[in-house]
Protein backbone atom coordinates (compact mmCIF):
# COMPACT_ATOMS: atom_id res chain seq x y z
CA UNK A 1 0.00 0.00 0.00
CA UNK A 2 1.67 3.21 -1.17
CA UNK A 3 -0.66 5.63 0.64
CA UNK A 4 -1.49 6.32 4.27
CA UNK A 5 -4.88 5.75 5.87
CA UNK A 6 -6.48 7.36 8.92
CA UNK A 7 -4.91 4.59 11.02
CA UNK A 8 -1.46 5.95 10.16
CA UNK A 9 -2.19 9.48 11.38
CA UNK A 10 -2.12 11.09 14.82
CA UNK A 11 -5.23 13.27 14.76
CA UNK A 12 -5.50 14.29 18.42
CA UNK A 13 -6.06 18.03 18.53
CA UNK A 14 -5.51 18.28 14.73
CA UNK A 15 -7.58 20.19 12.22
CA UNK A 16 -8.35 17.72 9.44
CA UNK A 17 -9.21 19.15 6.02
CA UNK A 18 -11.36 16.36 4.62
CA UNK A 19 -12.26 16.30 0.91
CA UNK A 20 -15.60 14.54 0.49
CA UNK A 21 -18.14 14.05 -2.29
CA UNK A 22 -21.61 15.09 -1.17
CA UNK A 23 -22.71 16.23 -4.62
CA UNK A 24 -26.16 14.72 -4.10
CA UNK A 25 -29.37 15.04 -6.13
CA UNK A 26 -31.88 17.58 -4.80
CA UNK A 27 -35.45 18.53 -5.51
CA UNK A 28 -37.37 21.47 -4.03
CA UNK A 29 -34.47 22.18 -1.69
CA UNK A 30 -34.36 18.65 -0.26
CA UNK A 31 -31.83 15.84 -0.80
CA UNK A 32 -33.54 13.00 -2.71
CA UNK A 33 -30.72 10.44 -2.39
CA UNK A 34 -28.34 10.70 0.58
CA UNK A 35 -26.16 7.71 -0.38
CA UNK A 36 -23.03 9.79 -0.91
CA UNK A 37 -23.54 11.59 2.39
CA UNK A 38 -24.03 8.32 4.25
CA UNK A 39 -20.81 6.88 2.81
CA UNK A 40 -18.61 9.57 4.34
CA UNK A 41 -19.98 9.04 7.86
CA UNK A 42 -17.34 6.44 8.92
CA UNK A 43 -14.51 8.83 8.04
CA UNK A 44 -16.01 11.80 9.87
CA UNK A 45 -16.75 9.69 12.95
CA UNK A 46 -13.23 8.22 12.96
CA UNK A 47 -11.69 11.69 12.87
CA UNK A 48 -13.88 12.74 15.79
CA UNK A 49 -13.06 9.55 17.72
CA UNK A 50 -9.35 10.24 17.24
CA UNK A 51 -9.74 13.73 18.69
CA UNK A 52 -9.58 15.60 15.40
CA UNK A 53 -11.69 18.43 14.00
CA UNK A 54 -13.29 17.40 10.67
CA UNK A 55 -13.38 20.31 8.22
CA UNK A 56 -15.35 19.12 5.20
CA UNK A 57 -14.43 20.38 1.73
CA UNK A 58 -16.76 19.57 -1.14
CA UNK A 59 -18.20 20.74 -4.43
CA UNK A 60 -21.83 20.93 -5.49
CA UNK A 61 -22.81 21.22 -9.14
CA UNK A 62 -20.79 23.21 -11.67
CA UNK A 63 -20.85 26.90 -10.73
CA UNK A 64 -17.66 27.50 -12.75
CA UNK A 65 -15.95 29.77 -10.24
CA UNK A 66 -19.03 31.89 -9.54
CA UNK A 67 -21.24 32.11 -6.47
CA UNK A 68 -24.51 30.45 -7.44
CA UNK A 69 -26.96 30.45 -4.48
CA UNK A 70 -28.80 27.34 -5.72
CA UNK A 71 -25.50 25.44 -5.60
CA UNK A 72 -24.65 26.39 -2.03
CA UNK A 73 -23.73 23.48 0.22
CA UNK A 74 -25.96 25.08 2.84
CA UNK A 75 -28.79 23.06 1.28
CA UNK A 76 -27.22 19.71 2.23
CA UNK A 77 -26.59 20.59 5.89
CA UNK A 78 -29.87 19.07 7.21
CA UNK A 79 -29.20 15.73 5.46
CA UNK A 80 -25.58 15.79 6.64
CA UNK A 81 -26.65 16.45 10.24
CA UNK A 82 -29.18 13.63 10.07
CA UNK A 83 -26.56 11.17 8.75
CA UNK A 84 -23.96 12.16 11.36
CA UNK A 85 -26.40 12.46 14.23
CA UNK A 86 -24.92 15.82 15.28
CA UNK A 87 -24.97 19.49 14.31
CA UNK A 88 -22.76 20.80 11.53
CA UNK A 89 -21.39 24.34 11.40
CA UNK A 90 -21.67 25.81 7.90
CA UNK A 91 -18.87 28.22 6.96
CA UNK A 92 -19.34 30.67 4.06
CA UNK A 93 -16.13 32.64 4.59
CA UNK A 94 -13.70 33.62 7.29
CA UNK A 95 -12.13 30.18 7.46
CA UNK A 96 -9.60 31.13 10.13
CA UNK A 97 -12.14 32.57 12.54
CA UNK A 98 -14.51 29.63 12.10
CA UNK A 99 -11.80 27.06 12.75
CA UNK A 100 -10.41 28.99 15.73
CA UNK A 101 -13.87 29.09 17.27
CA UNK A 102 -14.57 25.36 16.87
CA UNK A 103 -14.62 23.09 19.92
CA UNK A 104 -14.27 19.38 20.62
CA UNK A 105 -16.79 17.27 18.73
CA UNK A 106 -17.61 19.98 16.20
CA UNK A 107 -17.91 19.34 12.46
CA UNK A 108 -17.37 22.18 9.96
CA UNK A 109 -18.57 22.31 6.36
CA UNK A 110 -16.97 24.95 4.15
CA UNK A 111 -18.97 26.48 1.30
CA UNK A 112 -18.83 24.94 -2.20
CA UNK A 113 -15.14 24.97 -3.16
CA UNK A 114 -16.08 25.45 -6.81
CA UNK A 115 -17.39 28.92 -6.00
CA UNK A 116 -13.70 29.84 -6.01
CA UNK A 117 -12.18 29.89 -9.54
CA UNK A 118 -8.94 28.58 -8.04
CA UNK A 119 -10.48 25.17 -7.30
CA UNK A 120 -10.80 23.86 -10.85
CA UNK A 121 -7.61 25.65 -11.90
CA UNK A 122 -5.73 23.66 -9.24
CA UNK A 123 -4.51 27.02 -7.96
CA UNK A 124 -1.76 26.74 -5.37
CA UNK A 125 -2.78 30.04 -3.77
CA UNK A 126 -6.28 28.76 -3.02
CA UNK A 127 -4.83 25.48 -1.74
CA UNK A 128 -2.41 27.38 0.52
CA UNK A 129 -5.27 29.46 1.92
CA UNK A 130 -7.08 26.27 2.89
CA UNK A 131 -3.93 24.57 4.15
CA UNK A 132 -3.30 27.49 6.51
CA UNK A 133 -6.30 26.45 8.65
CA UNK A 134 -5.48 22.73 8.67
CA UNK A 135 -2.91 20.32 10.08
CA UNK A 136 -3.75 17.17 8.13
CA UNK A 137 -5.32 16.51 4.71
CA UNK A 138 -7.67 13.55 4.26
CA UNK A 139 -9.12 12.66 0.86
CA UNK A 140 -12.31 10.63 1.04
CA UNK A 141 -13.60 11.53 -2.44
CA UNK A 142 -12.42 8.88 -4.88
CA UNK A 143 -15.23 9.98 -7.18
CA UNK A 144 -13.41 13.32 -7.65
CA UNK A 145 -9.93 11.81 -7.79
CA UNK A 146 -9.73 11.99 -11.59
CA UNK A 147 -9.77 15.79 -11.35
CA UNK A 148 -6.54 17.68 -10.65
CA UNK A 149 -8.21 20.40 -8.59
CA UNK A 150 -6.95 22.41 -5.62
CA UNK A 151 -8.79 20.31 -3.02
CA UNK A 152 -8.05 16.97 -4.68
CA UNK A 153 -4.44 17.42 -5.77
CA UNK A 154 -2.62 20.62 -4.73
CA UNK A 155 -3.71 20.46 -1.09
CA UNK A 156 -2.30 16.94 -0.71
CA UNK A 157 1.20 18.31 -1.28
CA UNK A 158 0.90 21.00 1.41
CA UNK A 159 -0.08 18.92 4.45
CA UNK A 160 0.52 15.38 5.77
CA UNK A 161 -1.96 13.43 3.63
CA UNK A 162 -4.00 10.26 3.96
CA UNK A 163 -6.98 8.44 2.48
CA UNK A 164 -10.32 8.41 4.29
CA UNK A 165 -12.28 5.21 4.94
CA UNK A 166 -14.27 5.37 1.71
CA UNK A 167 -11.23 6.21 -0.41
CA UNK A 168 -9.18 3.44 1.22
CA UNK A 169 -11.94 0.88 0.65
CA UNK A 170 -12.21 1.92 -2.99
CA UNK A 171 -8.46 1.68 -3.57
CA UNK A 172 -8.26 -1.74 -1.93
CA UNK A 173 -11.17 -3.00 -4.04
CA UNK A 174 -9.63 -1.70 -7.26
CA UNK A 175 -6.26 -3.21 -6.41
CA UNK A 176 -7.96 -6.56 -5.81
CA UNK A 177 -9.84 -6.28 -9.12
CA UNK A 178 -7.13 -5.23 -11.58
CA UNK A 179 -3.99 -4.17 -9.71
CA UNK A 180 -3.02 -7.57 -8.34
CA UNK A 181 -6.07 -9.79 -8.88
CA UNK A 182 -6.58 -13.46 -8.26
CA UNK A 183 -6.85 -15.12 -11.66
CA UNK A 184 -8.66 -15.94 -13.86
CA UNK A 185 -10.15 -12.43 -14.25
CA UNK A 186 -13.33 -11.73 -16.21
CA UNK A 187 -14.57 -8.26 -17.12
CA UNK A 188 -18.12 -7.43 -18.20
CA UNK A 189 -18.40 -4.27 -20.29
CA UNK A 190 -21.76 -3.12 -21.59
CA UNK A 191 -23.41 0.07 -22.67
CA UNK A 192 -24.67 1.68 -25.81
CA UNK A 193 -21.58 2.69 -27.75
CA UNK A 194 -18.08 1.37 -28.37
CA UNK A 195 -16.93 4.94 -29.03
CA UNK A 196 -17.37 5.89 -25.36
CA UNK A 197 -15.27 2.99 -24.10
CA UNK A 198 -12.39 2.60 -26.55
CA UNK A 199 -9.70 3.28 -23.93
CA UNK A 200 -11.45 0.93 -21.50
CA UNK A 201 -11.62 -1.97 -23.96
CA UNK A 202 -8.06 -1.41 -25.13
CA UNK A 203 -6.76 -1.56 -21.56
CA UNK A 204 -8.86 -4.50 -20.38
CA UNK A 205 -7.92 -6.91 -23.15
CA UNK A 206 -4.32 -6.76 -21.92
CA UNK A 207 -5.25 -7.28 -18.26
CA UNK A 208 -8.10 -9.79 -18.07
CA UNK A 209 -8.53 -13.39 -19.19
CA UNK A 210 -12.07 -13.04 -20.54
CA UNK A 211 -13.92 -9.94 -21.73
CA UNK A 212 -17.72 -10.17 -21.94
CA UNK A 213 -19.14 -7.47 -24.22
CA UNK A 214 -22.84 -6.66 -24.00
CA UNK A 215 -25.40 -3.99 -24.75
CA UNK A 216 -25.30 -1.95 -27.95
CA UNK A 217 -21.51 -2.31 -27.96
CA UNK A 218 -21.86 -6.02 -28.74
CA UNK A 219 -23.83 -5.19 -31.89
CA UNK A 220 -20.86 -3.28 -33.30
CA UNK A 221 -18.58 -6.25 -32.67
CA UNK A 222 -21.10 -8.68 -34.22
CA UNK A 223 -21.43 -6.45 -37.29
CA UNK A 224 -17.62 -6.28 -37.54
CA UNK A 225 -17.68 -10.08 -37.88
CA UNK A 226 -19.99 -9.75 -40.86
CA UNK A 227 -23.28 -10.48 -39.08
CA UNK A 228 -26.45 -8.59 -39.98
CA UNK A 229 -27.75 -6.83 -36.85
CA UNK A 230 -30.91 -5.50 -38.51
CA UNK A 231 -32.09 -2.17 -37.10
CA UNK A 232 -30.07 -2.51 -33.90
CA UNK A 233 -28.08 0.32 -32.38
CA UNK A 234 -24.70 -0.14 -34.02
CA UNK A 235 -21.65 1.99 -34.85
CA UNK A 236 -20.88 0.53 -38.27
CA UNK A 237 -18.14 3.12 -38.79
CA UNK A 238 -16.20 1.52 -35.92
CA UNK A 239 -16.07 -1.95 -37.46
CA UNK A 240 -12.33 -1.64 -38.12
CA UNK A 241 -11.77 -0.48 -34.53
CA UNK A 242 -13.72 -3.47 -33.21
CA UNK A 243 -11.58 -5.80 -35.31
CA UNK A 244 -8.41 -4.12 -34.02
CA UNK A 245 -9.55 -4.62 -30.41
CA UNK A 246 -10.35 -8.27 -31.16
CA UNK A 247 -6.89 -8.75 -32.68
CA UNK A 248 -5.24 -7.10 -29.67
CA UNK A 249 -7.20 -9.41 -27.38
CA UNK A 250 -6.12 -12.48 -29.32
CA UNK A 251 -2.50 -11.40 -29.13
CA UNK A 252 -2.80 -10.88 -25.36
CA UNK A 253 -4.53 -14.23 -24.81
CA UNK A 254 -7.82 -12.60 -23.80
CA UNK A 255 -11.04 -14.34 -24.90
CA UNK A 256 -13.78 -11.95 -26.08
CA UNK A 257 -17.27 -13.25 -25.38
CA UNK A 258 -20.07 -11.92 -27.60
CA UNK A 259 -23.75 -12.94 -27.51
CA UNK A 260 -24.44 -16.33 -29.10
CA UNK A 261 -28.17 -15.70 -29.11
CA UNK A 262 -30.08 -12.45 -28.72
CA UNK A 263 -33.52 -11.12 -27.84
CA UNK A 264 -34.99 -9.08 -30.69
CA UNK A 265 -38.09 -6.91 -31.04
CA UNK A 266 -39.60 -4.55 -33.59
CA UNK A 267 -40.42 -1.93 -30.96
CA UNK A 268 -38.39 -0.48 -28.10
CA UNK A 269 -40.99 -0.31 -25.35
CA UNK A 270 -41.94 -2.16 -22.19
CA UNK A 271 -43.62 -5.48 -22.89
CA UNK A 272 -42.90 -5.32 -26.62
CA UNK A 273 -43.36 -8.62 -28.45
CA UNK A 274 -39.95 -10.26 -28.64
CA UNK A 275 -38.25 -13.49 -29.66
CA UNK A 276 -34.92 -15.23 -29.14
CA UNK A 277 -32.81 -15.89 -32.22
CA UNK A 278 -29.22 -16.90 -32.90
CA UNK A 279 -26.86 -13.96 -33.27
CA UNK A 280 -26.44 -14.76 -36.96
CA UNK A 281 -30.22 -14.88 -37.59
CA UNK A 282 -31.35 -11.38 -36.64
CA UNK A 283 -34.30 -10.33 -38.86
CA UNK A 284 -33.64 -7.29 -41.02
CA UNK A 285 -36.59 -5.40 -39.51
CA UNK A 286 -35.75 -6.17 -35.85
CA UNK A 287 -33.39 -4.75 -33.25
CA UNK A 288 -31.27 -6.53 -30.64
CA UNK A 289 -32.31 -5.46 -27.14
CA UNK A 290 -30.79 -8.12 -24.89
CA UNK A 291 -28.56 -11.17 -24.78
CA UNK A 292 -30.34 -14.52 -25.00
CA UNK A 293 -30.51 -17.41 -22.49
CA UNK A 294 -27.71 -19.42 -24.14
CA UNK A 295 -25.43 -16.39 -23.95
CA UNK A 296 -26.31 -15.88 -20.28
CA UNK A 297 -25.60 -19.55 -19.52
CA UNK A 298 -22.18 -19.23 -21.19
CA UNK A 299 -21.40 -16.06 -19.19
CA UNK A 300 -22.37 -17.96 -16.03
CA UNK A 301 -19.92 -20.74 -16.92
CA UNK A 302 -17.15 -18.14 -17.32
CA UNK A 303 -18.03 -16.65 -13.93
CA UNK A 304 -17.78 -20.12 -12.36
CA UNK A 305 -14.25 -20.68 -13.61
CA UNK A 306 -13.11 -17.14 -12.71
CA UNK A 307 -11.87 -15.80 -9.39
CA UNK A 308 -12.22 -12.05 -10.03
CA UNK A 309 -14.96 -10.08 -11.80
CA UNK A 310 -14.93 -6.42 -12.86
CA UNK A 311 -18.27 -5.13 -14.18
CA UNK A 312 -19.11 -1.88 -16.01
CA UNK A 313 -22.32 -1.63 -18.00
CA UNK A 314 -25.46 -3.77 -18.50
CA UNK A 315 -25.86 -6.61 -21.01
CA UNK A 316 -29.04 -5.24 -22.55
CA UNK A 317 -31.68 -2.51 -22.38
CA UNK A 318 -32.13 -3.24 -18.68
CA UNK A 319 -34.39 -0.22 -18.05
CA UNK A 320 -37.28 -1.91 -19.87
CA UNK A 321 -38.82 -5.33 -19.29
CA UNK A 322 -38.32 -7.96 -20.60
CA UNK A 323 -34.93 -6.73 -21.83
CA UNK A 324 -33.46 -6.73 -18.33
CA UNK A 325 -33.38 -10.53 -18.18
CA UNK A 326 -29.73 -11.07 -19.18
CA UNK A 327 -28.35 -8.39 -16.86
CA UNK A 328 -30.46 -9.68 -13.96
CA UNK A 329 -29.50 -13.34 -14.49
CA UNK A 330 -25.78 -12.63 -14.86
CA UNK A 331 -25.80 -10.33 -11.83
CA UNK A 332 -27.52 -12.95 -9.69
CA UNK A 333 -25.01 -15.60 -10.77
CA UNK A 334 -22.11 -13.30 -9.83
CA UNK A 335 -23.77 -12.55 -6.49
CA UNK A 336 -24.27 -16.25 -5.78
CA UNK A 337 -20.60 -17.01 -6.43
CA UNK A 338 -19.51 -14.01 -4.36
CA UNK A 339 -21.65 -15.11 -1.41
CA UNK A 340 -20.07 -18.56 -1.65
CA UNK A 341 -16.59 -17.02 -1.44
CA UNK A 342 -15.69 -18.20 -4.95
CA UNK A 343 -15.54 -14.80 -6.66
CA UNK A 344 -14.29 -11.30 -5.87
CA UNK A 345 -16.74 -8.98 -7.64
CA UNK A 346 -16.21 -5.26 -8.18
CA UNK A 347 -18.67 -3.14 -10.14
CA UNK A 348 -19.04 0.55 -10.93
CA UNK A 349 -20.72 3.11 -13.15
CA UNK A 350 -24.17 4.68 -12.92
CA UNK A 351 -26.04 2.23 -15.15
CA UNK A 352 -24.20 -0.69 -13.57
CA UNK A 353 -25.21 0.28 -10.04
CA UNK A 354 -28.82 0.78 -11.20
CA UNK A 355 -28.85 -2.62 -12.91
CA UNK A 356 -27.44 -4.41 -9.86
CA UNK A 357 -29.92 -2.65 -7.57
CA UNK A 358 -32.71 -3.63 -9.93
CA UNK A 359 -31.55 -7.25 -9.79
CA UNK A 360 -31.55 -7.01 -5.99
CA UNK A 361 -27.91 -8.09 -5.63
CA UNK A 362 -25.91 -4.89 -5.08
CA UNK A 363 -25.31 -5.78 -1.42
CA UNK A 364 -23.90 -9.18 -2.39
CA UNK A 365 -21.05 -7.89 -4.58
CA UNK A 366 -17.63 -7.52 -2.95
CA UNK A 367 -17.58 -3.81 -3.76
CA UNK A 368 -19.83 -1.37 -5.61
CA UNK A 369 -18.22 1.89 -6.70
CA UNK A 370 -20.43 4.95 -7.11
CA UNK A 371 -17.50 6.96 -8.47
CA UNK A 372 -18.60 7.17 -12.11
CA UNK A 373 -15.90 8.94 -14.12
CA UNK A 374 -13.07 8.10 -11.70
CA UNK A 375 -13.98 4.40 -11.76
CA UNK A 376 -14.06 4.41 -15.56
CA UNK A 377 -10.71 6.23 -15.88
CA UNK A 378 -9.14 3.81 -13.42
CA UNK A 379 -10.43 0.88 -15.54
CA UNK A 380 -8.91 2.59 -18.57
CA UNK A 381 -5.52 2.42 -16.87
CA UNK A 382 -5.20 6.18 -16.40
CA UNK A 383 -3.42 7.84 -13.48
CA UNK A 384 -5.87 9.58 -11.16
CA UNK A 385 -4.34 12.86 -9.85
CA UNK A 386 -6.16 12.68 -6.51
CA UNK A 387 -4.78 9.19 -5.85
CA UNK A 388 -1.28 9.89 -7.14
CA UNK A 389 -1.05 12.91 -4.81
CA UNK A 390 -1.53 10.67 -1.77
CA UNK A 391 1.50 8.53 -2.56
Q: Flag whether 350 is marked binding.
A: yes
CA dist list (Å): 81 to 40, 78, 133: 12, 5, 23
Given the residues 14, 15, 36, 39, select the one marked as catalytic.
36
Q: Which of 202, 300, 350, 381 is catalytic?
A: 350
351 is in an annotated binding site: yes
Q: Is 23 annotated to bind ligand?
A: yes
The reply, when asked if residue 50 is annotated as ligand binding, is: no
> In 3D, which of 46, 41, 48 has the Cα closest to residue 22?
41
61 has binding-site annotation: yes
> Does the annotation list 62 as a binding residue?
yes
132's CB contacts (< 8 A; 6+ apart) are 95, 96
Whether 45 has a binding-site annotation, put simply, is: no
Residue 112 burial (C-beta neighbours within 10 Å; 0-12, 13-18, 19+) = buried
Point out the catalytic residue in the list 202, 373, 381, 382: 373
Ligand-binding annotation for 214, yes or no, is no
Closest CA relative to residue 112, chosen from 79, 77, 157: 77
Q: Is 47 a known ligand-binding residue?
A: no
349 assigned binding-site residue = yes
Tell me, yes or no, if 292 is annotated catalytic: no
Could you please report the per-residue DSSP string of 337-379? HHHTTS-EEEEESHHHHHHHHHHT-GGGSSEEE--THHHHHHH
- Show Cβ contacts of residue 272 under 8 Å, excluding neighbours closer than 6 positions: 265, 266
| 10 belongs to an annotated ligand binding site | no
Q: Is 271 a catalytic residue?
A: no
Q: Say which of 193, 260, 266, 382 is annotated catalytic.
A: 193
**146 in a labelled binding site:** no
Q: Is 193 a catalytic residue?
A: yes
What is the rounded CA–CA span in Å between residue 42 and residue 166?
8
Q: Which residues of 128-154 are buried (b: 16+ CB within 10 A; e: fewer)?
A: eebbebbbbbbbbbbbbbbbbbbbbbb
- Which positions make up the binding site? 21-23, 36, 59-62, 114, 147, 197, 319, 349-352
The residues annotated as belonging to the active site are: 36, 193, 350, 373
- Which positions make up the binding site for (2R)-3-phosphoglycerate? 36, 114, 147
Amino acid sequence: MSWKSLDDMDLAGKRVLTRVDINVPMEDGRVTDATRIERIVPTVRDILDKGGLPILLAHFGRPKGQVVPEMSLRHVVPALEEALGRSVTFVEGGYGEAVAGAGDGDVLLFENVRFNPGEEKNDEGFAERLASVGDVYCNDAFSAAHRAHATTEALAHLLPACAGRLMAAELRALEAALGDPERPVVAVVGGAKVSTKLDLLGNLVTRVDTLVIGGGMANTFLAAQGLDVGKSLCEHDLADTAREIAAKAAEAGCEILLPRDVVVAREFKAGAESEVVKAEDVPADAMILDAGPDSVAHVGMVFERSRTLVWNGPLGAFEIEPFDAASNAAARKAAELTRAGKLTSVAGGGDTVSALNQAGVADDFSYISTAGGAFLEWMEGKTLPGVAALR
